[in-house]
Amino acid sequence: MLLGIDTCGAIGTIALARCSNDAVSLVAQAELAGKTYAAQFVPKINELLEAQDSVSEELKAIVVVNGPGSFTGVRIGVSSAKALAEALRIPLLAVSRLAVLAQKAGTDAVALEAGRGEFYFRAQSRETLLTPEEIRKQLSGALGVCEESAAQSFREVVLVDPPSAADALVFAMPRLQAKRFDDVAMLDGNYVRRSDAELFAKQGDRGSRAVTAKVQ
């Protein structure tokens, strides 16, 4: 039994699946309402397991989507997945939400709304934060998106449903088979953009240096 976790978007998902040969068979999937991830995470997993007459000890590996997306959602998903992996002593594997979206849309280039007039953009396995204008300059084909706002910002798009935990499990299949897991202790969120706290701290640090330089 495999556990998939994606809490990067406005709605989170948790999925259970079984891995056999070269395929992943979805067993069950449940949604987590936004802003309730921390409270719902463990109860929802237990609920899914109980519905399948299973227990957490039957889980053999965890696949977590570690961003980009909501800072809070990414942190909750990654920290919860790490804690669960350590408690159950099972391997953990992290995947990019942009990479999962690219496989789902069938396009090399994909974009996710990032706010502030910017998008998380992936092309040729490289992930960056760009404006719509910057993305248009790099496009040579259709752009995979999962949000109406993104679809309206570009001409040629492939609009699909938002990536889910089940999609992440399917995407992770090659790595699961190869047993290419991540170091639980070293795993962190794939934020692409730094948090407001980090940005403000850096701006404040620059301001302090400027004042000091002026005084000197």
pLDDT band at 20 (very low <50, low <70, confident <90, very high): confident
pLDDT in tens, 30-51: 999 888 888 999 999 999 999 9
The pLDDT value recorded for residue 38 is 87
Question: Domains (ranges, CATH) in the chain?
Answer: 2-96+163-196 (3.30.420.40), 99-159 (3.30.420)
pLDDT exceeds cutoff 80 at 14:
yes
pLDDT in tens, 158-173: 999 999 999 999 999 9
Check: CB of residue 1 under 8 Å from CB of residue 16: yes
Half-sphere exposure in the Cβ direction for 208 (13 Å, CA): 6
pLDDT band at 194 (very low <50, low <70, confident <90, very high): low
The pLDDT value recorded for residue 190 is 96
pLDDT band at 177 (very low <50, low <70, confident <90, very high): very high
The pLDDT value recorded for residue 22 is 76
